[in-house]
Structure 1
Amino acid sequence: MSNTLRALSVLLAYPTEGLREAVADIGSVLVDEGLVSARERADLWPLLAELRNDDLYDLQERYVELFDRSRSLTLNLFEHVHGESRDRGQAMVDLAALYERGGLTMTANELPDYLPLLLEYASTRPIGEARQLLTDIAPIVAALRERLVARGSTYAGVFGALLVLSGSANAEPVELAEPRDIDADWAEDPVAFGPEAAPGCSSDRTMSRIRAARRDARSEETNHV
């Protein structure tokens, strides 16, 4: 299960040129390890095709729109059940301690409940422990999959595969906060450049490139550690 979990973790990461180059290897892992059935793989192929063929900045914009600017789809799992309450803080402390006991070192800019990080940790554990971790988060994963399906997003396939790996393909989705209400909290004001810029001027591509530069810089720092 370890290679499959790593592959799914990578698919949920911010799109980079490195991810594009790894698409063929990811597809091979999903086939060779055989833990994801042909049906689930069929739901994943459209995402792999997009990552391989679409313009990188378009991929990054879509990712930001889904997971960074939409709180209802944030990949920080505890946000969906604890919000900003103290319960979330304690849950993250407990999860960070679990990672530490398992030998996973987090970087300063990572939150323990970030789904790709949790999957990376699960990929290092014995199969029974890994499956239990996936089972524990299955209700949240099921709810996120429903929301992604409703948006017509190809990322839904990753969440469907995670449910199958957890043995909880029919998990009842946890009741999350209403998307419209919590998304409004995260809405960003339009950005205009220059004294004569029109109100509401779109800057999504510019913001995506800035975010990309920051993420790539953080990734570079991590690689040199």
Structure 2
Amino acid sequence: MRTFKVLSALLSYPTEVLIAAAPELVAVLDAEKLVPAASRGAVDLLIEEIGSGDVYDLQERYGLLFDRSKTLALHLFEHVHGESRDRGQAMVDLKGMYENAGLIIAANELPDYVPLLLEFLSTRPLAEAHELLGQTAHILAALAERLGRRESGYRAVFDALVAIAAEAPRSEIVEELLKAPDTDPMDLVALDAAWEEEEVRFGPGAQGQGACGHEGLIAKLRHARRAVDPAPSSPQ
């Protein structure tokens, strides 16, 4: 479905090419009607905002949101708790899933980058895309909420993805993810401290050899979900 390509483009770094393509993005959404009506108006407003904006202003806004805020990072595994080893193996699994489906990514690309995942979903059967989005719905919903707090039009993309997903996010998991404090994008010292962590490795020689298919991704995302689940109540 080309709709996922449109949503991927909207979450990508703004360029003159993206601005010029705004009418085509609307046409794709009109033709496929995958984005639910309740989400479509806000997505159209974001497309209009990008299509009529100044490229430098759009790029500055994008950078302040996604490049200088850890809690708005467009990398899925930045938002789940656990050790770097777990995230590194999850990267291996996700990269393997892409390769098994014929999508080879560049060595410097992180496979959990949301626009890249959406590009991949655009090549898969719709039922599979629904299911995979469902496994990430709690992360997408948390990102939507954080963007909403900043009154950002980019929230529309994440709201649309949550609406398309096969599985609704669980509110308690979203609330747990939202407990991470937001960092002021202008506070460079705080930003450096927030981003300072153990390097995540993936690819040849990474930790272990995990499953590299559809089930491997789902297992890792479920593991991440369990990491933020509240502890179960003790039996009476």
Structure 2-normalised TM-score?
0.74
CA distance in 1, matches of 2:57, 2:183: 27
Q: Which has the higher contact order (CA 8 A, sep 6+)?
A: 2
> More helix by proportion, 1 or 2?
1
Deviation at 1:144, TM superposition (A): 0.4
CA distance in 2, matches of 1:17, 1:37: 28
Superposition CA RMSD, Å:
2.2
Q: How does 1:18-33 map to 2 (within 5 A)?
A: 18-33=17-32
Q: Which amino acid aligns with 2:108?
A: N
**Aligned twin of 1:178:** 180
Q: How does 1:52-201 map to 2 (within 5 A)?
A: 52-82=51-81, 85-168=84-167, 171-172=170-171, 173=174, 175-176=176-177, 178-180=180-182, 187=191
Q: Which segment drifts farther, 30-39 or 132-141?
A: 30-39
CA distance in 2, matches of 1:58, 1:182: 19
**% identity of equivalent residues:** 52
CA distance in 2, matches of 1:180, 1:126: 36
CA distance in 1, matches of 2:59, 2:192: 17
Deviation at 1:38, TM superposition (A): 2.6
Question: In the TM superposition, what whole-angstrom CA distance separates every residue of 1:2-59 from its partner, at most 9, and x where no partner exists?
Answer: 1111110111000001101111111111111011133211111221111111111000
Give aligned pairs, total. Answer: 188
Structure 1-normalised TM-score?
0.77
Where structure 1 has 5 or more consecutive residues not aligned to the other structure, the ranges are 190-225
Q: Which amino acid aligns with 2:121?
A: A
Q: Which amino acid aligns with 1:68?
A: D
Deviation at 1:126, TM superposition (A): 1.1
**In the alignment, is the contact (CA less than 8 A) between 1:77 and 1:115 conserved in 2?**
yes
Deviation at 1:175, TM superposition (A): 2.2
- Go from structure 1 to structure 2 and tell me whether the alpha carbon gap of 1:85 and 1:186 turns closer, same or farther (over 3 Å shift): farther
Q: Which amino acid aligns with 2:133?
A: L
Question: In the TM superposition, what whole-angstrom CA distance separates every residue of 1:112-143 from its partner, at most 9, and x where no partner exists?
Answer: 10000011111111111111110010000000
Q: Which amino acid aligns with 2:96?
A: A
CA distance in 1, matches of 2:154, 2:39: 12
Question: In the TM superposition, what whole-angstrom CA distance separates every residue of 1:134-179 from its partner, at most 9, and x where no partner exists?
Answer: 0010000000000001100000000011011113456532622513
